[in-house]
Amino acid sequence: MDLLSNFALGLSTAITPEALLFCFIGVTVGTFVGVLPGIGAMAAISLALPMTFHIDPTYALIMLAGIFYGAQYGGSTASILMNLPGSISSAVTCLDGYPMAQKGKAGVALFVTAIASFIGSSFAIIIVMCFAPVIAEAALGFSSYEYFAVMLMGLIAASTLSTGSPLKGLASVVIGVTLGIVGTDVTTGQYRFTFGLNDLSDGINLVAIAMGLFGISEIVSNILRKGSERPNIGKVTLRSMFPSREEWKLIPKPAARGSIVGSAIGILPGVGPTLSAFMAYLLEKKVSRTPERFGHGAVEGITAPEAANNAAVQAGFIPTLSLGIPGDAIMALMLGAMLIHGIVPGPLFMTEYPEMFWGLVMSFWIGNILLLVLNIPLNGLWVKMLAIPYHILYPAILVFICIGVYSAQNSVFDVYVALFFGLVGLAMNAVRIPTAPLLLGFVLGPLLEEHFRRSMLLSRGAFDVFMQRPVSATFLVITAALLLYAGFGMWRNARRRRQAQAAAAA
C-alpha cells in the first residue's frame, strides 16, 4: 500500500510540465553526448551543473539523472556505427555491434540496444523502488562509526575494482581526499592547504574541478588525438531497424541476465556500469551454446551488456540516495549537486523529501520511455550528428565550459582552477592514473574526515571501537578483503610478466 501511495506521489511530481521539460532536456542532452565519442556523461553533467543552481532541486536532479542514463543509451550508437564507444561502458558493445554494422545489420543492432537498455533500466528501477527504502530504514541506525567504515569501503572499492592499476587508483583517491580538505577546518576554523590564497578559503569549487578533470582534459586529448576524422557512416532507415523472427528470440534471456548482473553490480559502491557490461558479456558468452559467434556479430553480445550497463546506472542511485554514498564519480557529482542545493542525501532523504525522491524515481520511467522514442524513430537524427566535425564541436564546448565555471560563482579564479585541472587530467590520463576515483575522494573526503573525527571524539581516541560494532567491523573486513584481492591481482600480473619475459628470453 505504501509503495502504491509513493508511486502516486512520485508520478504527480514527475508529470508536472516543468518536470517533463527538464526530463526531456536531460535525456536529449544525454543522448547527444553519448552519441559523440569523447565527451561522455561526466563532462556533460559538469557543464550542466551551474545551470541547475537557479532551478528547483527536484527538476535539477531529474535533468542531471536524465543526462546520465541518456548517455548510456546514446553511447552504443557510435560503438555500432564507428567502432568508437560513446562512453566507456559502451566499449564492449563494439565487439559485436560493429561486426553487425559491417554485415549490413546496423539498424537491427541499434534497435536491439535500445530495447535492451529499456529492459535493463526498467528492471533496475523496480529494484530501486523496492530496496532503496529498506536500505535507508536500516541505515537509520548508523552512527559515525558505520558511516566512516562504509565510506572507506566505497573509496577502496572505487580504486581497486575499477579498470587499471589498483595502486594508481588508490593514489588517485588519496589525491582527491587531500583536495577535498582544502579550505577552512570546520572544527578549528584554521585554513588548510590554501597557500595564502583567499579564493581557496572555502575550498576548491566542485564544478571547476569536475569540468577541468573530465571536460577540458577529455576534449583537449580528443583534439590532440590523430585520426579523429570519422569514416562515412551511411544511412540507417526505420525499416532496416526491425529484427527478424530469429533475432527477436535471441533478445529476452540475455536481456534478463544482463539486467540482473547490472543491478547486482550497480548497487556496489565504486564499480559502476563499465564492469557490469563486461561481466554480462562474459556471462553471456559462457552460457552460450555457440560462443564462437561472439565477436562476429552475435545479437546476445550487444543485448546483455547494454541491459547491464543501463541497469547499473539506475541501481547506482540506491547507495547514493539511501546512504549518501556515491557509487562512482558521476554519482559523486549528483551528490555534490544535492549538497549545493542544501539537500543532504542519506537515510532521512526519503522521509524529509518524499516528493523529490519518488518524483526522481518516477521520472526514470518517463525518461526511459522518451529515450525509446529518441533512439528508435529518431535514430537517423543522431546518426547525422556524428557528421559534425570535431574542429567545430570541441572548441565550442570548451567556451561553454569556461562560461559555466565562471557563472557558478562569478569567479575568474575558478576558470583558472578548471584549466589547471584540465592539465592535471591530461597528465593523469597520460600516465594511466584514473581520474574518476579522484573526484569520488574529493566529494567523500570531507565527510570521511568528519565522521572519523566524530568517532574519535566519542570513543576518546580508541581506534578499536570500529571493530567492536558489528556493522562497521563487517565493512572494514570487506575493505581489507578488497585490498588483499587487489594486492593478489598485482602480484599475479607481475608474476605473469616475469614468466613471459623469461619465456621470450629462452
| Whether pLDDT at 433 is above 90 | no
- Model pLDDT for residues 35-86, shown as the tens digit of each residue: 876 667 777 887 788 778 788 888 988 998 888 888 877 778 877 877 666 6
Q: Which residues of 126-135 are buried (b: 16+ CB within 10 A; e: fewer)?
A: ebbbeebbeb
pLDDT band at residue 20 using 50, 70 and 90 as cut-offs: very high
Quick one: how far is CA 312 from the chain centroid? Answer: 9
For residues 106 and 80, the answer to whether their CB atoms sit within 8 Å is yes
- Model pLDDT for residues 371-396, shown as the tens digit of each residue: 888 877 777 777 777 777 777 777 88
pLDDT at 179: 92
Which among 84, 160, 42 has a CA at the least distance from the CA of 421? Answer: 42
Quick one: how far is CA 471 from the chain centroid? Answer: 27
Task: Please give the Cα distance from 388 to 203 (Å, whole number).
Answer: 38
Predicted model pTM: 0.75
Residue type at 203? G
Please give the angle made by the CA atoms of 201, 205 and 211, to the nearest 5 degrees: 155
pLDDT at 97: 85
Task: Please give the Cα distance from 361 to 312 (Å, whole number).
Answer: 15
pLDDT at 294: 85
Which among 382, 385, 361 has a CA at the least distance from the CA of 114? Answer: 382
For residues 87 and 276, the answer to whether their CB atoms sit within 8 Å is no
pLDDT at 6: 81
Least confident of 157-166, 304-313, 357-366: 157-166
pLDDT at 276: 81
Q: Which three cell numbers stand for residue 452?
A: 572519523
Please give the angle made by the CA atoms of 244, 304 and 166, to the nearest 5 degrees: 155
Torsions phi, psi for 184 (to 5 deg): -95, 130
The chain-wide mean pLDDT, for the chain, equals: 82
pLDDT at 477: 93
159 contact partners, CB below 8 Å, separation of at least 6:
166, 169, 170, 172, 173, 270, 434, 437
pLDDT band at residue 235 using 50, 70 and 90 as cut-offs: low
Mean pLDDT computed over 104-122 = 87
pLDDT band at residue 162 using 50, 70 and 90 as cut-offs: low
| Whether pLDDT at 149 is above 70 | yes
Q: Which residues of 463-476 are buried (b: 16+ CB within 10 A; e: fewer)?
A: eebbeebebbbebb
Q: Which three cell numbers stand for residue 430?
A: 597520460
Mean pLDDT computed over 200-212 = 84
Task: Please give the Cα distance from 259 to 195 (Å, whole number).
Answer: 49
Q: Which three cell numbers stand for residue 273?
A: 556500469
Percent of the chain with pLDDT over 70: 93
- Model pLDDT for residues 249-303, shown as the tens digit of each residue: 888 999 999 999 888 888 776 566 777 887 788 788 888 888 888 888 888 889 9
pLDDT band at residue 236 using 50, 70 and 90 as cut-offs: low
